[in-house]
Amino acid sequence: MANATRQAINEEAAAWFVRLQGVDVPAEDRGAFDRWMDDPAHAVAYARVEATWDRAERLKAIVNPNANRNAPLLSRRAAAIGFLTIGAGAATAWWLTHKPTYQTEIGERKTISLSDGSRVELNTASRLASAYGYGRRDVHLLAGEAMFEVAKDPKRPFVVHAGAATVRAVGTAFNVRLRDKVVEVTVTEGLVAVDDLTVRSGGRPLAAGNAAVVGLGSIAAQPLDEDALKRRTEWREGVIDLRGETLGQAVEEFNRYRTRKLVVGDPKLAVVRVGGTFETGESDKFVEALKAGFNVKVVEGDGGVVYLVPNT
């Protein structure tokens, strides 16, 4: 950032800080401030100004030795994250032996062109079977994760079956990931209808930019911002982008691409938050970063398991 820009933002931040200290701040000013703060670069400048204000209190010590020096206490709120956990029936399909199936090994990624021109990109350790019929195109995701780019054919809907979820599309692009107990659907283009086998609501519409978690007889949909959307499909570039995930979650991601699985051997360590961008295949680099930045030690366990433990 150029210095001039930096100074201009600092000045705006200072102006807001001063303005908001006033007694009666009109609602529209507060609204304008909220919008201004939506830009993290602005918020960082605002934090700086606040910090300056806090730190300037120490100037009192020069004027008045009895100055109150209480530092503001950081109140921390433990974020409670609710997880949807369900028991999705294991997908056993008799036709598996009869229909074309595609699969990837751990660490492998593969693009498949289906007979109708639709493209499927399979992520690591994934398995897919196609069962095209007259009136419809059925595809079964049996393991892992896949991104679908569906060729348009209004007469033959394209239906993905994954765990308890069905995703129905005409011509669109979306990502489906089988997680332990739920199925995660992310739509990047067009519109799909998502349904849960146990509910059969007739399909809940899900438009581009939205994601749904399907399982336990419920469908939880939420809009994703551009950034989150990009992250959901970043595996196609072979990238894992961590932004404050717990170490436990990060390890789960990396393990999808590893044969020698990582295990976090300490509950305190598992909840440490980590950030950074890594290639899916370079989890060793991630481990190195953990060793350096988080004081983590690696212990080789039986059966090729790699334990991460605090270095005490």
Partner 1 sequence: MTDRDQRLAWFKAQILPHEAVLRHHLRRIGVAADDVDDFAAEAMTRAYATQDWAQISNGRAYLSTIGRNLVFDAARRRKVVAIETIPDLDVLHIADWQPSAESTVSAREELKVLQTALDQLPPRAREIFTLRRIEELSVKDIGAKLGLSVKTVEAHMTRALTALTEALQDSDRAAGSQTGTTWRTRRDRR
As a whole number of angstroms, the distance between CA 130 and CA 146 comes to 13
The closest alpha carbon to 6, from 41, 35, 32, 34, belongs to 41
Residue closer to partner 1, measured from CB, 51 or 305: 51
Least separation, in Å, of the C-beta of 32 and partner 1? Answer: 15
Residue closer to partner 1, measured from CB, 25 or 305: 25
As a whole number of angstroms, the distance between CA 66 and CA 162 comes to 68
Integer-rounded Cα Rg, in Å, for the chain is: 25
Least separation, in Å, of the C-beta of 77 and partner 1? Answer: 5
Residue closer to partner 1, measured from CB, 103 or 249: 249
Residue closer to partner 1, measured from CB, 8 or 305: 8
Residue closer to partner 1, measured from CB, 7 or 85: 7
Least separation, in Å, of the C-beta of 56 and partner 1? Answer: 5
The closest alpha carbon to 53, from 64, 45, 63, belongs to 45
Residue closer to partner 1, measured from CB, 22 or 133: 22
As a whole number of angstroms, the distance between CA 299 and CA 44 comes to 39
As a whole number of angstroms, the distance between CA 74 and CA 260 comes to 40
Q: How do 306-310 and 262-264 pair as beta strands?
A: parallel
As a whole number of angstroms, the distance between CA 43 and CA 196 comes to 41
Query: What is the contact surface with partner 1 in residues (CB under 8 A)?
Result: 1, 6-7, 10-11, 13-15, 17-19, 21-23, 37, 40-41, 43-44, 46-64, 72, 74-79, 243-246, 271-278, 288-289, 292-294
Residue type, 40: P
As a whole number of angstroms, the distance between CA 224 and CA 95 comes to 35
Residue closer to partner 1, measured from CB, 57 or 252: 57
As a whole number of angstroms, the distance between CA 97 and CA 105 comes to 19
As a whole number of angstroms, the distance between CA 147 and CA 104 comes to 14
Residues 6+ apart with CB under 8 A from 148: 118, 119, 120, 139, 158, 160, 169, 173, 174, 175, 176
The closest alpha carbon to 262, from 283, 291, 236, belongs to 283
Residue closer to partner 1, measured from CB, 48 or 152: 48
